[in-house]
Amino acid sequence: MFEMEKRGVPTVAWTAERFIHDAQASARAYGLSRIALAVMPTPATNEPADRIRQMAADSIDQVIDGLTQPALPETGMVAAKPSEVLKFQAEDLLEAFEKMNKSLRLLKA
């Protein structure tokens, strides 16, 4: 998705309300200053198919807008520079992931 956006192909990501910040942070991590989102009230994971269909239908206007409207610049969003990339060394990926999360929690405090 991020590569398509970088090449000028509009995309929209469906996300749950509580993951908006995470989606925006992921976009910045991949070098995008913004990302078009279609927001659902809850994650689609473990929802019945009828509920997922309804949530998608309820947010379809956001998908259409994200694909057809010009992007509005967002202020205060800066892409990470290569020198600012954080690296976490550990015995395995899970331990590295836990170190990263702990580090990021400390930064937010």
Per residue, the 3-state secondary structure of 25-66, as one string, reads HHHHHCCCCCCCEEEECCCCCCCCHHHHHHHHHHCHHHHHHH
pLDDT at 79: 40
- What band does 108 get if pLDDT is binned at 50, 70 and 90? low
53 or 75: which leads in pLDDT: 53
Q: Does the pLDDT of residue 102 top 80, yes or no?
A: yes
20 or 33: which leads in pLDDT: 20
3-state secondary structure of 14: strand
What value does the mean pLDDT take over residues 4-17? 87
Q: Does the pLDDT of residue 81 top 60, yes or no?
A: no
3-state secondary structure of 15: strand
Tokens matching residue 76? 């205060």
Model pTM score: 0.60
Q: Report CA-CA distances (Å) from 71 to 37, 68, 76, 86.
A: 11, 9, 15, 29
